[in-house]
Amino acid sequence: MTRPSPIRGPLSLLLIGGTSEIALTLATTLAERHELHVVLAARPGRRRDSADGMLTSLGCDVESIDFDAQELDRSLRGLGHLFDGLVVDVAVVAQGVLPDQDLLESNPQAAGRVCTINYTSAVGVGLLLADRMVGQGRGVIVALSSVAAMRPRNANYVYGSTKAGLDAFYTGLRDRLHDTAVRVLVVRPGHVHTRMTQGLTPAPFAVGPEAVADAIVARLDVAGDGPVWVPAILGPVMGILGLLPAALFRQLAGEPASQRPLGKQATR
């Protein structure tokens, strides 16, 4: 049996959804410890250019490739070509949107697009990453899940369902790869203060993206592939909430179906 070892030395870091604030904060944190080659897999535009410039200013070697979760076939081909010429040490699956629940209830087509971005594309990406990392003999896949995956609420059940699917997929992928040199880390943050959650009332135990990045880096530095709760207290808290009867859980959730202006959605 081959078991993975902690991350050491220079790193190549692939950020899928490369303009994600959490993903970029992770890159910034890693750049303080490692010589870093970063691949930004994201849609071309101002935000990707800004991320490139920021990481370059930190001394990272940066390259960008096009990735659009709604054009999965083409995007997966691009990721496959990337692995033809690069050994990827860490890949972060960070593409995602947090939509307005009220809008989705009157627009099933928009709900379908959310599922494509948040879940369907993550499955395709995960299978490709697993195949290529097993082939190269090492690697860590970091999948950004959410506590919303554990028990979706009436205010965000479409989003929560996509995260539940993502979480289940990467948990299964983790178990499938357990006897290889590839690790899968399923990260379950609570409310994170980013542009995606701007305007929402913070839930208990809210954190900044730096806390998520620190938790991921801490896990990269040790062997093991258990879930990463951010903050750690959310693990036992969600265990308790998962046992509550539905009526009591609805009462505790106690929030309107949406806290966002209609039509607004943001990326992580």
Adjacency order of strands within the sheet including 61-66: 61-66, 36-42, 11-16, 90-93, 139-144, 182-189, 228-230
Report the distance separating Cα 8 and Cα 225, nearest Å. 17
The backbone torsions φ and ψ at residue 140, rounded to the nearest 5 degrees and listed phi first, read -130, 130
Tell me the two tokens of residue 195.
């542009």
Decide if 157 is catalytic: no
Q: Pick the catalytic residue from 119, 157, 159, 170.
A: 159
Instruction: Give long-range contacts, CB 8 A cutoff, 24+ apart: 167-175.
Output: 167/143, 169/119, 169/122, 169/123, 169/126, 170/93, 170/122, 170/126, 170/141, 170/143, 170/145, 171/227, 173/126, 173/127, 173/130, 173/141, 174/225
Residue 129 burial (C-beta neighbours within 10 Å; 0-12, 13-18, 19+): buried
* C-alpha closest to that of 209 among 15, 58, 26: 26
Q: Active-site positions?
A: 159
